[in-house]
Each structure stands twice: as structure tokens, then as C-alpha cells.
């Protein structure tokens, strides 16, 4: 059975192990979720499970459908040492220039360059008399969905519904995350 959980990123912290080493962790508040709908091949044309936590609903597609309507899922499905995949929206950074957005070098500070140090430079050749699709330019940066695989669960707190994941996860504080194992 595939393990699936929704949670909100709380903060970055650290945990000290028995031998004194420091482990950087991200604390995730994983409130219990409830299975609200089970979709089948016969009725819907595909297999999926819809889960809800509060007013938020998400659908995911497990390999085999062992979920029942009304079933509650909480942090007890994860144990210390489990490898998980976490998906969420990256922090939004607004409108950014090409130097920050695409790591362009910018123009030199001398040799006749004035007021154009962070501009992109040429955006195309003489032909085909237009800007080619996909040309890297300034624009909106961030808020795209990112998945990180192979993160390790360090500890679970069943009373407060907390997951301690080793390392950083995508998004700002309060970002909704999908956790699968």
C-alpha cells in the first residue's frame, strides 16, 4: 500500500542524536486526513483516491486501491527511517530579471557600458525577424511545483501530528505539502 499524507510546513530546526551529531530537520504538521471518495475503473474510468483535510481536497493514484470510504490516515503510517517524497510549491519571488532568474552574467562594468549592467543583451539574430519561443527573459519566478525524493523521516510525534524530515523541503512556512512513501 502506498503511504500518502498532507501536511503544512512549520519550520526548520535541528535534532541532536545520541552520539551528539546535529541533524537538520523540517517540522511538518500533518493533520489527519480522511478518504472522501474512491474512484474505480468501472465507474470513473481510472483508479484514484480523494482525501481531505479540513477544506482542502487532493486526489492521488495509488497502485492498488486498498482504501475505504471514511478511512482516517494519520502520521502513524510513517516510522523513523522511512524514505519519503515531498511535493509542494516553491516560494514565490515575483518579477525577476535575467541575472537572478536565469543566472546570466550581466554586462561588464567598463568598456562603454552605461546603465545596462543587469540587462540580457541580444535576444536573437537577424533572421527569423521575431523572438524565438523559449528565449530566456525576465519574468515571474517561483510558485512552481517541485518534488524532492529520498528524504528521510527522522522522528514522528503522534500526539501533535508532527513529522520531522531530514533536510529542506520546498516552500515557505504554511505551504501545503504532499508526502508519499
Could you report the per-residue pLDDT of 76-92, keeping only the tens digit for each? 999 999 999 999 999 99
pTM of whole model > 0.85? no
Neighbours of 14 (CB within 10 A): 9
C-alpha cell at 137: 527573459
> What confidence score (pLDDT) does residue 55 get?
81
153-to-3, 81, 93 alpha-carbon distances in Å: 13, 5, 29
Domain at 4-32+74-93+140-180: CATH code: 2.40.30.10
Q: What percent of the chain has pLDDT over 70?
A: 97
Q: What percent of the chain has pLDDT over 90?
A: 71
In the chain, which stretches have pLDDT less than 70? 1-2, 63-65
> What confidence score (pLDDT) does residue 10 get?
95
Q: Under a CB-based contact definition with an 8 Å cutoff, are residues 174 and 8 in contact?
A: yes
> What confidence score (pLDDT) does residue 65 get?
66
b vs e for 23-55, b when ≥16 Cβ sit within 10 Å of the residue's Cβ?
eebbbbbbeebebeebbeeeeeeeeebbbebee
C-alpha cell at 151: 528524504
> What confidence score (pLDDT) does residue 59 get?
86
CA gap 19, 14 in Å, rounded: 14
Amino acid at each position: 500500500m502506498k503511504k500518502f499524507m498532507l501536511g503544512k510546513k512549520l519550520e526548520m530546526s535541528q535534532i541532536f542524536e545520541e552520539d551528539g551529531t546535529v541533524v537538520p530537520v523540517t517540522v511538518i504538521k500533518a493533520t489527519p486526513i480522511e478518504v472522501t471518495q474512491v474512484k474505480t475503473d468501472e465507474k470513473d474510468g481510472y483508479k484514484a483516491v480523494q482525501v481531505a483535510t479540513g477544506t482542502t481536497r487532493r486526489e492521488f493514484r495509488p497502485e492498488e486501491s486498498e482504501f475505504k470510504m471514511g478511512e482516517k490516515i494519520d502520521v502513524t503510517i510513517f516510522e523513523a527511517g522511512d524514505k519519503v517524497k515531498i511535493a509542494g510549491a516553491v516560494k514565490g519571488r515575483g518579477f525577476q530579471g535575467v541575472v537572478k532568474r536565469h543566472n546570466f552574467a550581466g554586462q561588464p562594468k567598463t568598456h562603454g557600458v552605461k546603465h545596462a549592467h543587469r540587462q540580457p543583451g541580444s535576444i536573437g539574430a537577424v533572421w527569423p525577424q521575431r523572438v524565438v519561443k523559449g528565449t530566456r527573459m525576465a519574468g515571474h519566478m517561483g510558485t512552481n511545483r517541485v518534488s524532492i525524493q529520498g528524504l528521510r523521516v527522522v522522528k514522528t510525534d503522534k500526539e501533535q501530528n508532527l513529522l520531522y524530515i531530514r533536510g529542506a523541503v520546498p516552500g515557505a512556512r504554511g505551504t501545503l505539502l504532499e508526502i508519499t512513501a
